[in-house]
Amino acid sequence: MVWQSQNRGSFWSDEEKHFYLNARQRVRASQRQRTRRFYRRLVWITLAIIGITLAARVARSASPQGERQATAIRLPEITQTQVVTVAPGDSLWSIARRYCPKGTSTMDNIALISALNGNPNGQLEPGQRLVVPATP
């Protein structure tokens, strides 16, 4: 049987018609497969993002919010203090070694100077005045 196609009056045989229809079905089937794969990947990516978000929220709720865990520093009794001006090139380490009492560790002296001056991050600028324990 011969039928007329829609492209300007040309005629196709039954074989040509089946070949064309089968090709179109194969194309549509592969398009459906690609669409299914796309949506599967989209679902997996969405689930991964939700999982990461939930894990971050759980981790954030488990940690103390806005609080730092303070280390216990035992400050010695200080009877006298002196004021020192920071010179260019000075660091808390050099000031602690120069002005703090002998027989104490430099790290303890740095913590002591930071506590006395309310300077927890240890940033110093030339000309800044620091309160340090007086050396005997």
What's the pLDDT score for residue 103?
76
- Residue-level pLDDT at 92: 86
Residue 19 confidence class, pLDDT cut points 50, 70, 90:
confident
- Judge whether 76 lies within some domain: no
pLDDT of residue 47: 94
For the chain, what is the domain count? 2
Mean of pLDDT over the chain: 78
- Distance CA(16)–CA(2), nearest Å, equals 10
- The CA-CA-CA angle for residues 43, 49, 53, to 5°, reads 145
Asked if the structure places residue 86 within a domain, the reply is: yes
Q: What is d(CA 81, CA 135) in angstroms, rounded to the nearest whole number?
A: 8
Task: Examine residue 74 and state whether it is found in any structural domain, yes or no.
Answer: no
pTM: 0.42
